[in-house]
């Protein structure tokens, strides 16, 4: 190999690495100091207290959201914001994959919807509100317990995904309103 070609190849590689290292792409709510778990949370998100809810699946969403907002630290002692959360769910027959004599569906679709209102704790003024929805498919076997367990698993999956959507939505809402830092 020609020594001049080798030097120019190394120079080109060094230049491309220098250019690539200058690119900075970061998540919406990233901060310079990252927590040990690898997730960073903005001070505004970690100052949101979530009001109690009344159903099991809504509690699943609430628990996951509290964990996502505070990195597992629980609710803040003196919250700047209060989040009112209303979660509903519906389940509908999706398909008949197997032909059975009782003509019941063998697959269903669970849809979970969350409506939220974010308020300033001091003034009670609404900072943001919105709605997010997620769907989760599940099989409906013939055994009753297995069918109930499949539906519960679909609820849990949907609750996890819905909490992640809500975290992103709250981050966007706070950033849009100028309260995201």
Domains of the chain: 35-177 (3.30.160.150)
Residues facing 131 on adjacent strands: 115
Region 141-170 average pLDDT: 90
Distance CA 5, CA 45 (A): 53
Distance CA 147, CA 108 (A): 10
Nearest CA to 86 among 55, 48, 122, 63? 55
Q: For 20-30, what is each residue's pLDDT tens digit?
A: 666 656 565 55
On whether the CB atoms of residues 100 and 150 are closer than 8 A, the answer is no
What's the pTM value of the predicted model, to 2 decimals? 0.70
> Cβ–Cβ contacts within 10 Å for residue 177, how many?
13
117 pLDDT more than 90: yes
Q: For 146-160, what is each residue's pLDDT tens digit?
A: 888 988 999 999 999
Say which residue the tokens 């699943």 belong to.
Answer: 60
């Amino acid at each position: 190999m020609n020594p001049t070609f080798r030097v120019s190849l190394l120079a080109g590689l060094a230049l491309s690495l220098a250019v690539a290292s200058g690119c900075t792409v970061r998540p919406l709510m990233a901060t310079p100091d990252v927590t040990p778990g690898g997730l960073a949370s903005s001070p505004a998100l970690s100052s949101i207290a979530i009001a109690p809810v009344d159903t099991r699946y809504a509690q699943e969403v609430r628990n996951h959201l509290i964990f996502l907002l505070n990195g597992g630290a629980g609710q803040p002692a003196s919250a700047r914001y209060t989040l009112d959360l209303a979660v509903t769910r519906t389940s509908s027959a999706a398909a008949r994959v197997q032909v059975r004599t009782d003509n019941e569906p063998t697959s269903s679709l669970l849809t979970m919807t969350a409506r939220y209102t974010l308020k300033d704790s001091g003034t009670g003024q609404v900072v943001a509100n919105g709605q997010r929805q997620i769907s989760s498919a599940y099989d409906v076997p013939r055994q009753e317990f297995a069918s109930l367990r499949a539906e519960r698993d679909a609820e849990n999956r949907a609750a996890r995904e819905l909490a992640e959507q809500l975290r992103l939505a709250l981050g966007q809402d706070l950033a849009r309103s100028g309260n995201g830092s």
